[in-house]
Amino acid sequence: MSALFESITLREVTIPNRVWMPPMCQYSAAPEGPLTGAPGDWHLAHYGARATGGTGLIVMEATAVAPEGRISPYDLGLWNDTQVEAFRRITGFLSAQGTVPGVQLAHAGRKASTDRTWKGGAPLGPEAGGWQPVAPSAVPFDERHPVPAELTVEQIREVVGRFAAAARRALAAGFEVVEIHGAHGYLINEFLSPHSNHRTDAYGGSYENRSRFALEVVDAVREVWPEDKPVFFRISATDWLKDGGWTTEDTVRFAHDLHAHGVDLLDVSTGGNASGVTIPTGPGYQVPFAARVKAESPLRVAAVGLITEAGQAEKIVTNGEADAVLLGRELLRNPSWARHAARELGGEIRVPDPYHRSV
Protein backbone atom coordinates (compact mmCIF):
# COMPACT_ATOMS: atom_id res chain seq x y z
CA MET A 1 0.00 0.00 0.00
CA SER A 2 1.38 3.39 -0.97
CA ALA A 3 1.83 5.73 2.00
CA LEU A 4 0.93 8.64 -0.27
CA PHE A 5 -2.51 7.15 -0.82
CA GLU A 6 -3.35 6.32 2.78
CA SER A 7 -6.09 8.49 4.25
CA ILE A 8 -5.39 10.88 7.11
CA THR A 9 -7.89 12.04 9.73
CA LEU A 10 -7.53 15.46 11.36
CA ARG A 11 -10.04 15.93 14.15
CA GLU A 12 -13.10 14.34 12.47
CA VAL A 13 -12.27 15.24 8.87
CA THR A 14 -10.81 12.38 6.84
CA ILE A 15 -8.77 13.31 3.77
CA PRO A 16 -8.58 10.37 1.33
CA ASN A 17 -4.90 10.74 0.43
CA ARG A 18 -1.77 12.82 1.06
CA VAL A 19 -1.70 14.54 -2.36
CA TRP A 20 -2.87 18.07 -1.65
CA MET A 21 -3.20 21.27 -3.64
CA PRO A 22 -1.80 24.41 -2.00
CA PRO A 23 -3.31 27.87 -2.36
CA MET A 24 -2.30 29.47 -5.68
CA CYS A 25 -3.84 32.81 -6.56
CA GLN A 26 -5.67 32.88 -9.87
CA TYR A 27 -6.26 36.65 -9.94
CA SER A 28 -9.48 35.96 -11.78
CA ALA A 29 -12.24 37.37 -9.56
CA ALA A 30 -14.25 40.44 -10.53
CA PRO A 31 -12.42 43.57 -9.29
CA GLU A 32 -15.60 45.59 -8.78
CA GLY A 33 -19.38 45.36 -8.79
CA PRO A 34 -21.78 43.12 -6.84
CA LEU A 35 -19.61 40.02 -7.41
CA THR A 36 -16.34 41.60 -6.27
CA GLY A 37 -14.14 38.91 -4.71
CA ALA A 38 -16.53 36.09 -5.59
CA PRO A 39 -15.34 32.95 -7.44
CA GLY A 40 -16.74 32.37 -10.92
CA ASP A 41 -16.69 29.87 -13.74
CA TRP A 42 -12.89 29.90 -13.98
CA HIS A 43 -12.57 28.84 -10.34
CA LEU A 44 -15.17 26.09 -10.70
CA ALA A 45 -13.39 24.63 -13.73
CA HIS A 46 -9.91 25.10 -12.24
CA TYR A 47 -10.56 23.50 -8.86
CA GLY A 48 -13.04 21.01 -10.25
CA ALA A 49 -10.44 19.57 -12.62
CA ARG A 50 -8.03 18.87 -9.75
CA ALA A 51 -10.83 17.24 -7.75
CA THR A 52 -11.80 14.91 -10.59
CA GLY A 53 -8.07 14.21 -10.93
CA GLY A 54 -7.98 12.66 -7.45
CA THR A 55 -6.44 15.40 -5.29
CA GLY A 56 -7.25 14.59 -1.66
CA LEU A 57 -7.44 18.14 -0.29
CA ILE A 58 -7.72 21.39 -2.21
CA VAL A 59 -6.89 24.53 -0.25
CA MET A 60 -8.37 27.32 -2.31
CA GLU A 61 -6.25 30.37 -2.99
CA ALA A 62 -5.59 33.28 -0.62
CA THR A 63 -9.06 34.60 0.18
CA ALA A 64 -9.08 38.05 1.71
CA VAL A 65 -10.87 38.75 4.97
CA ALA A 66 -11.39 42.39 3.93
CA PRO A 67 -11.31 44.33 0.63
CA GLU A 68 -8.07 46.07 1.61
CA GLY A 69 -6.55 42.69 2.48
CA ARG A 70 -6.49 41.51 -1.12
CA ILE A 71 -3.16 41.08 -2.88
CA SER A 72 -4.79 42.48 -6.00
CA PRO A 73 -8.23 43.79 -6.96
CA TYR A 74 -8.74 40.42 -8.69
CA ASP A 75 -8.45 38.29 -5.55
CA LEU A 76 -11.13 36.23 -3.88
CA GLY A 77 -12.71 37.34 -0.61
CA LEU A 78 -15.02 36.19 2.16
CA TRP A 79 -16.20 39.47 3.60
CA ASN A 80 -19.85 39.27 2.45
CA ASP A 81 -22.64 36.75 1.96
CA THR A 82 -22.74 37.06 -1.84
CA GLN A 83 -19.26 35.55 -1.87
CA VAL A 84 -20.47 32.72 0.37
CA GLU A 85 -23.12 31.71 -2.14
CA ALA A 86 -20.59 31.67 -4.98
CA PHE A 87 -18.18 29.48 -3.02
CA ARG A 88 -20.93 26.94 -2.22
CA ARG A 89 -21.14 25.93 -5.86
CA ILE A 90 -17.45 24.98 -5.82
CA THR A 91 -17.26 23.30 -2.41
CA GLY A 92 -20.31 21.22 -3.30
CA PHE A 93 -18.65 19.99 -6.48
CA LEU A 94 -15.34 19.21 -4.75
CA SER A 95 -17.08 17.27 -1.99
CA ALA A 96 -19.09 15.29 -4.54
CA GLN A 97 -15.80 14.10 -6.08
CA GLY A 98 -14.50 12.92 -2.69
CA THR A 99 -12.08 15.86 -2.33
CA VAL A 100 -11.99 17.79 0.94
CA PRO A 101 -12.49 21.53 0.29
CA GLY A 102 -10.30 23.94 2.22
CA VAL A 103 -9.72 27.68 2.03
CA GLN A 104 -6.84 29.96 2.98
CA LEU A 105 -7.91 33.12 4.83
CA ALA A 106 -5.51 35.97 4.24
CA HIS A 107 -4.63 39.63 4.60
CA ALA A 108 -1.90 40.89 2.28
CA GLY A 109 -0.68 43.71 4.52
CA ARG A 110 2.04 45.85 2.93
CA LYS A 111 2.07 43.65 -0.21
CA ALA A 112 -1.57 44.47 -1.02
CA SER A 113 -2.91 46.51 -3.93
CA THR A 114 -0.80 45.11 -6.77
CA ASP A 115 -1.51 44.18 -10.36
CA ARG A 116 -1.86 40.58 -11.56
CA THR A 117 1.43 38.69 -11.68
CA TRP A 118 1.36 38.09 -15.45
CA LYS A 119 1.14 41.87 -15.85
CA GLY A 120 4.20 42.41 -13.67
CA GLY A 121 2.58 42.61 -10.24
CA ALA A 122 3.43 46.30 -9.79
CA PRO A 123 1.72 48.25 -7.00
CA LEU A 124 -1.53 49.91 -8.03
CA GLY A 125 -2.48 53.37 -6.85
CA PRO A 126 -6.05 54.57 -6.23
CA GLU A 127 -6.23 55.89 -9.79
CA ALA A 128 -5.77 52.30 -11.06
CA GLY A 129 -8.20 50.64 -8.68
CA GLY A 130 -5.72 50.22 -5.83
CA TRP A 131 -5.70 51.42 -2.22
CA GLN A 132 -3.42 52.30 0.70
CA PRO A 133 -1.77 49.15 2.12
CA VAL A 134 -1.40 48.66 5.87
CA ALA A 135 1.26 46.90 7.92
CA PRO A 136 2.61 46.48 11.45
CA SER A 137 5.13 49.24 10.70
CA ALA A 138 5.49 51.97 8.11
CA VAL A 139 8.17 50.01 6.24
CA PRO A 140 7.68 49.26 2.52
CA PHE A 141 8.41 45.80 1.13
CA ASP A 142 10.85 47.22 -1.43
CA GLU A 143 11.60 50.38 -3.39
CA ARG A 144 8.64 49.75 -5.74
CA HIS A 145 6.04 49.45 -3.02
CA PRO A 146 4.51 52.46 -1.22
CA VAL A 147 5.07 53.11 2.46
CA PRO A 148 2.20 51.30 4.23
CA ALA A 149 0.10 52.87 6.95
CA GLU A 150 1.01 51.52 10.38
CA LEU A 151 -1.94 49.78 11.99
CA THR A 152 -3.22 51.14 15.28
CA VAL A 153 -4.03 48.75 18.11
CA GLU A 154 -7.73 49.32 17.44
CA GLN A 155 -7.25 48.48 13.76
CA ILE A 156 -5.33 45.32 14.69
CA ARG A 157 -8.30 44.18 16.75
CA GLU A 158 -10.60 44.92 13.82
CA VAL A 159 -8.48 42.72 11.54
CA VAL A 160 -8.63 39.90 14.10
CA GLY A 161 -12.41 40.20 14.02
CA ARG A 162 -12.34 40.11 10.23
CA PHE A 163 -10.56 36.76 10.30
CA ALA A 164 -13.20 35.36 12.64
CA ALA A 165 -16.04 36.67 10.47
CA ALA A 166 -14.42 35.17 7.35
CA ALA A 167 -14.05 31.82 9.12
CA ARG A 168 -17.79 31.85 9.92
CA ARG A 169 -18.51 32.51 6.27
CA ALA A 170 -16.10 29.77 5.21
CA LEU A 171 -18.10 27.30 7.27
CA ALA A 172 -21.36 28.52 5.74
CA ALA A 173 -19.74 28.17 2.30
CA GLY A 174 -19.11 24.46 2.85
CA PHE A 175 -15.39 24.34 3.64
CA GLU A 176 -14.08 21.53 5.84
CA VAL A 177 -10.59 22.96 6.46
CA VAL A 178 -9.56 26.54 7.07
CA GLU A 179 -5.95 27.67 6.73
CA ILE A 180 -4.61 30.93 8.19
CA HIS A 181 -2.06 32.57 5.90
CA GLY A 182 0.98 33.47 7.98
CA ALA A 183 3.59 33.18 5.22
CA HIS A 184 5.14 34.87 2.17
CA GLY A 185 5.45 38.38 3.55
CA TYR A 186 1.77 39.05 4.05
CA LEU A 187 0.30 40.69 7.14
CA ILE A 188 0.67 37.95 9.76
CA ASN A 189 4.18 37.12 8.52
CA GLU A 190 5.00 40.84 8.69
CA PHE A 191 4.09 40.89 12.38
CA LEU A 192 6.10 37.75 13.14
CA SER A 193 9.37 38.88 11.60
CA PRO A 194 11.62 41.55 13.15
CA HIS A 195 12.65 42.42 9.60
CA SER A 196 9.23 43.99 8.97
CA ASN A 197 7.92 44.58 12.51
CA HIS A 198 9.56 47.61 14.12
CA ARG A 199 6.80 48.30 16.64
CA THR A 200 7.57 49.20 20.25
CA ASP A 201 4.16 48.38 21.76
CA ALA A 202 2.64 45.03 22.78
CA TYR A 203 2.77 43.83 19.15
CA GLY A 204 6.47 44.38 18.52
CA GLY A 205 9.94 43.78 19.90
CA SER A 206 10.13 40.42 21.65
CA TYR A 207 9.15 37.08 20.13
CA GLU A 208 6.13 36.98 22.44
CA ASN A 209 4.96 40.39 21.24
CA ARG A 210 5.61 39.74 17.55
CA SER A 211 3.65 36.48 17.69
CA ARG A 212 0.75 38.04 19.61
CA PHE A 213 -1.27 39.08 16.54
CA ALA A 214 -0.91 35.69 14.88
CA LEU A 215 -2.08 33.86 17.98
CA GLU A 216 -4.98 36.27 18.45
CA VAL A 217 -6.07 35.47 14.90
CA VAL A 218 -5.73 31.74 15.58
CA ASP A 219 -7.78 32.04 18.77
CA ALA A 220 -10.49 34.07 17.02
CA VAL A 221 -10.75 31.57 14.17
CA ARG A 222 -10.63 28.53 16.44
CA GLU A 223 -13.41 30.01 18.57
CA VAL A 224 -15.85 30.14 15.65
CA TRP A 225 -14.59 27.10 13.73
CA PRO A 226 -16.19 23.78 14.76
CA GLU A 227 -14.22 21.59 17.15
CA ASP A 228 -14.54 18.65 14.79
CA LYS A 229 -12.86 20.47 11.88
CA PRO A 230 -9.13 21.25 11.57
CA VAL A 231 -7.36 24.59 11.39
CA PHE A 232 -4.12 24.83 9.39
CA PHE A 233 -1.51 27.58 9.53
CA ARG A 234 0.83 28.40 6.65
CA ILE A 235 4.26 29.59 7.74
CA SER A 236 7.38 30.89 6.05
CA ALA A 237 9.91 28.90 8.07
CA THR A 238 12.68 31.39 7.31
CA ASP A 239 13.09 34.84 5.79
CA TRP A 240 16.37 33.59 4.26
CA LEU A 241 18.21 36.45 5.97
CA LYS A 242 21.56 36.03 7.72
CA ASP A 243 20.34 38.12 10.63
CA GLY A 244 17.40 40.29 11.64
CA GLY A 245 14.71 38.00 10.29
CA TRP A 246 12.41 35.12 11.19
CA THR A 247 14.35 31.86 11.59
CA THR A 248 13.81 28.11 11.55
CA GLU A 249 14.30 28.10 15.32
CA ASP A 250 11.50 30.66 15.64
CA THR A 251 9.29 28.42 13.52
CA VAL A 252 9.86 25.38 15.72
CA ARG A 253 9.10 27.44 18.82
CA PHE A 254 6.02 28.90 17.17
CA ALA A 255 4.79 25.43 16.17
CA HIS A 256 4.51 24.55 19.86
CA ASP A 257 2.50 27.74 20.47
CA LEU A 258 0.22 27.03 17.53
CA HIS A 259 -0.44 23.51 18.80
CA ALA A 260 -1.35 24.89 22.22
CA HIS A 261 -3.81 27.27 20.57
CA GLY A 262 -5.63 24.55 18.62
CA VAL A 263 -3.89 24.47 15.24
CA ASP A 264 -3.79 20.98 13.74
CA LEU A 265 -1.26 21.20 10.91
CA LEU A 266 1.55 23.49 9.82
CA ASP A 267 1.86 24.09 6.08
CA VAL A 268 5.60 24.80 5.80
CA SER A 269 6.87 27.15 3.10
CA THR A 270 9.66 29.78 3.17
CA GLY A 271 10.52 33.33 2.14
CA GLY A 272 8.51 36.19 0.72
CA ASN A 273 9.02 38.76 3.48
CA ALA A 274 12.39 40.18 2.47
CA SER A 275 13.20 41.42 -1.01
CA GLY A 276 16.46 40.74 -2.78
CA VAL A 277 17.37 37.56 -0.88
CA THR A 278 18.95 34.53 -2.52
CA ILE A 279 16.93 31.33 -2.09
CA PRO A 280 18.72 28.08 -2.99
CA THR A 281 15.91 26.33 -4.83
CA GLY A 282 15.96 22.75 -6.06
CA PRO A 283 13.80 19.61 -5.90
CA GLY A 284 12.12 19.47 -2.48
CA TYR A 285 14.20 22.39 -1.21
CA GLN A 286 11.71 23.27 1.53
CA VAL A 287 11.11 19.73 2.76
CA PRO A 288 13.91 19.87 5.40
CA PHE A 289 12.07 22.73 7.13
CA ALA A 290 8.88 20.68 7.34
CA ALA A 291 10.86 17.66 8.55
CA ARG A 292 12.45 19.66 11.34
CA VAL A 293 9.10 20.99 12.57
CA LYS A 294 7.67 17.47 12.48
CA ALA A 295 10.64 16.09 14.42
CA GLU A 296 10.73 18.85 17.04
CA SER A 297 7.06 19.71 17.64
CA PRO A 298 3.73 17.92 18.18
CA LEU A 299 2.16 19.39 15.03
CA ARG A 300 1.32 17.51 11.85
CA VAL A 301 3.06 19.11 8.87
CA ALA A 302 2.72 19.36 5.10
CA ALA A 303 5.68 19.94 2.80
CA VAL A 304 5.72 22.08 -0.34
CA GLY A 305 8.25 23.29 -2.88
CA LEU A 306 9.32 21.65 -6.15
CA ILE A 307 7.78 18.29 -5.31
CA THR A 308 7.07 16.91 -8.77
CA GLU A 309 7.63 13.14 -8.97
CA ALA A 310 5.51 10.35 -7.49
CA GLY A 311 8.51 8.53 -6.01
CA GLN A 312 9.80 11.75 -4.47
CA ALA A 313 6.44 12.47 -2.83
CA GLU A 314 6.11 8.87 -1.62
CA LYS A 315 9.55 9.02 0.00
CA ILE A 316 8.75 12.25 1.86
CA VAL A 317 5.68 10.68 3.46
CA THR A 318 7.20 7.22 4.00
CA ASN A 319 10.29 8.68 5.68
CA GLY A 320 8.16 10.72 8.05
CA GLU A 321 9.46 14.05 6.79
CA ALA A 322 5.88 15.27 6.37
CA ASP A 323 2.34 13.97 6.77
CA ALA A 324 1.31 15.20 3.31
CA VAL A 325 2.73 16.92 0.25
CA LEU A 326 1.41 20.01 -1.48
CA LEU A 327 1.95 20.19 -5.23
CA GLY A 328 1.61 23.61 -6.77
CA ARG A 329 2.99 24.12 -10.25
CA GLU A 330 2.84 20.40 -10.95
CA LEU A 331 -0.91 20.37 -10.39
CA LEU A 332 -1.22 23.38 -12.68
CA ARG A 333 0.55 21.37 -15.36
CA ASN A 334 -1.28 18.12 -14.68
CA PRO A 335 -4.68 18.23 -12.93
CA SER A 336 -4.72 14.41 -12.77
CA TRP A 337 -1.30 14.07 -11.12
CA ALA A 338 -2.79 12.12 -8.21
CA ARG A 339 -4.38 9.49 -10.45
CA HIS A 340 -1.16 9.08 -12.43
CA ALA A 341 0.86 8.76 -9.21
CA ALA A 342 -1.55 6.18 -7.82
CA ARG A 343 -1.12 4.09 -10.94
CA GLU A 344 2.68 4.34 -10.64
CA LEU A 345 2.79 3.56 -6.91
CA GLY A 346 0.03 0.98 -6.77
CA GLY A 347 -2.20 3.19 -4.65
CA GLU A 348 -5.97 3.16 -4.60
CA ILE A 349 -7.83 6.27 -5.69
CA ARG A 350 -11.38 7.18 -6.56
CA VAL A 351 -12.08 7.66 -10.26
CA PRO A 352 -15.25 9.55 -11.30
CA ASP A 353 -17.74 7.26 -13.01
CA PRO A 354 -17.66 9.16 -16.33
CA TYR A 355 -13.88 8.51 -16.43
CA HIS A 356 -14.18 4.73 -15.96
CA ARG A 357 -12.45 4.16 -19.30
CA SER A 358 -9.26 5.64 -17.85
CA VAL A 359 -8.85 2.97 -15.16
**Side chain identity, residue 251:** T
Largest CA distance in the chain: 63
Instruction: Determine the Cα–Cα distance for residues 32 and 74; give it in Å rounded to an integer.
Output: 9
259 CB neighbour count, 10 Å cutoff: 17
Active site residues: 186
**Side chain identity, residue 56:** G
Q: Are 255 and 246 in contact (CB under 8 A)?
A: no
Instruction: Determine the Cα–Cα distance for residues 106 and 306; give it in Å rounded to an integer.
Output: 23
**Side chain identity, residue 336:** S
276: left (phi over 0), alpha (psi -120 to 50) or beta: left
Among 73, 76, 64, 209, smallest CA distance to 136 is for 209
Torsion 179-65-87-218 (CA) sign: positive
User: How do the residues of the chain divide into helix, strand and coil, expressed in percent and rounded to 5?
Assistant: 40, 15, 45
